[in-house]
Amino acid sequence: MFFTSAHMRFKDRADAGRQLAGRLGAYRKRPDVLVLALPRGGVPVAAEVAAALEAPLDVFLVRKLGVPGQQELAMGAVAGGGVRILNEEVVEYFGLSWPVIEEVTGRERRELERRERRYRHGLEPVAPRGKIVLLVDDGLATGSTMLAAVGAVRRLGPANIVVAVPVAPPSTARKLARVADDVICVLTPEPFDAVGCFYENFSQTTDDEVCAILERAIAPFLAPSASS
């Protein structure tokens, strides 16, 4: 299911999260719903969604694998649970060798582990098994990071996976619809330049901001899981 509107921008990620939550009313107050945010930019969006739906919030860590020398161009992504997705077309086009791929993968996995320690403080993640999982980010461009997230979460046995984002190009939304059970977008503009073009304020979300949001939002839900 796609929603679209032309000539529209979000004030910031919180505004985007509130507007996205307005499209997710069917999931409000359901005990089987879990909101998973892709850090860092997805966390303030997902916090608004989780609050509106009265659902637990957690983070799901994914890191893009950038092409050496062109870091914004993704050759794939890694996610929790040892999942790695490679874009074979990009790998082949740039002639990337296996040692280069492994070096980039190792570096991004170390960053994944650093963020895991920073954000969780030893708390166990909320188990998605049997849940309707809403995977939330601040927007999609190529979708490689979200594809890795969907693949990794799928291995954890959820009942359904819903990709929920404020903005994505139609081609990426269609690509995600092939692997997720549903895709919800507030905006699916064409032409599409970059996610930040659809925000008035798209300043980088910091680790400190992520930690502050999570401390407020996920501790009440994580505590029972951690002791079980």
Q: What is the pLDDT of residues 207-225, one digit of tens each?
A: 999 999 988 876 665 544 4
Residue 117 lies in a domain: no
Residue 142 lies in a domain: yes
pLDDT digits (tens, 9 = 90+) for 136-155: 999 999 888 898 899 889 98
Residue 152 lies in a domain: yes
What is the torsional sign of CA 116, 30, 147, 129? positive
Predicted structure pTM score: 0.84
Residue tagged 């993968």 (tokens): 105
- CATH of residue 171's domain is 3.40.50.2020
Residue 53 lies in a domain: yes
Residue 2 lies in a domain: no
Range of the domain at 179: 13-60+125-227
Residue 157 lies in a domain: yes
